[in-house]
Amino acid sequence: MAAHSDRTITWLVIIFTLLAITGCATLFSSTSQIVRFESNPSNAEVFLNGKSIGFTPLEVDIKKSTFDNFPLRFQKEGYKTVQQPLKKGLNNTALFNFTGMSSWATDAISGAMIQFTPDNYYIELTPQSASLEQQEQIKGRLFIVANQQGIKEEIAKGKGEHLKSIAAHYGMTDKEEKAYYEALSTTSSSALSINQPLAFLDLVEPK
């Protein structure tokens, strides 16, 4: 009789565990995510959904939502306002949630189904009355940030089209271009390990 009772308790524990897993998608994914914001110059005010969330550089734990939009605005006195959405995509972890349709529904409702990608933003602010030289410098900096992964691969190889484009944009002579590549090669291990756009820019942008 005692053995029968123990088996009953064991099965009840298994059933309740399965039910808990089926109804709890956050077992696999978080319903919020830390996103970092950087800008040049720093100390720009960041607005999310029209509400100020702080000044750059800034890290914020943002609650996810599958169905809502996340408009961003960056403001600093003397500079043009920058507006763009906080981008999101399907959280790959959700693809492995095989516990049932209720879990997918929970993922969708809680926001665990999505992730903010990228989770690190770099904003280049343009002065209200930027000179042509300033505008060109901004274009160069944005090119480096936008092509960070490709530039990393070319730094590892020692050459590539992205690096040639940087050299051309900054008006390097053949001698300066060669010196630029050599300087990058000495810092290649540091460049490859950097994930923050501003730190990568400081290392790669021609001085």
The pLDDT assigned to 22 comes to 44
Task: Quote the distance between the C-alpha of residue 17 and its chain's center.
Answer: 35
Q: Does residue 97 register a pLDDT over 70? A: no
The answer to whether 121 and 36 have CB atoms below 8 angstroms apart is: yes
Identify which has the larger pLDDT, 116 or 16: 116
- Kindly list the domain boundaries of the chain, sorted by start residue: 25-124, 132-204
Q: Does residue 73 register a pLDDT over 90? A: yes
Summarize pLDDT for 32-53 with one digit per residue, the tens. Answer: 889 999 999 999 999 999 999 9
Share of the chain above pLDDT 70, in %: 74
* 68: CB partners within 8 A, 6+ apart: none
The pLDDT assigned to 4 comes to 53
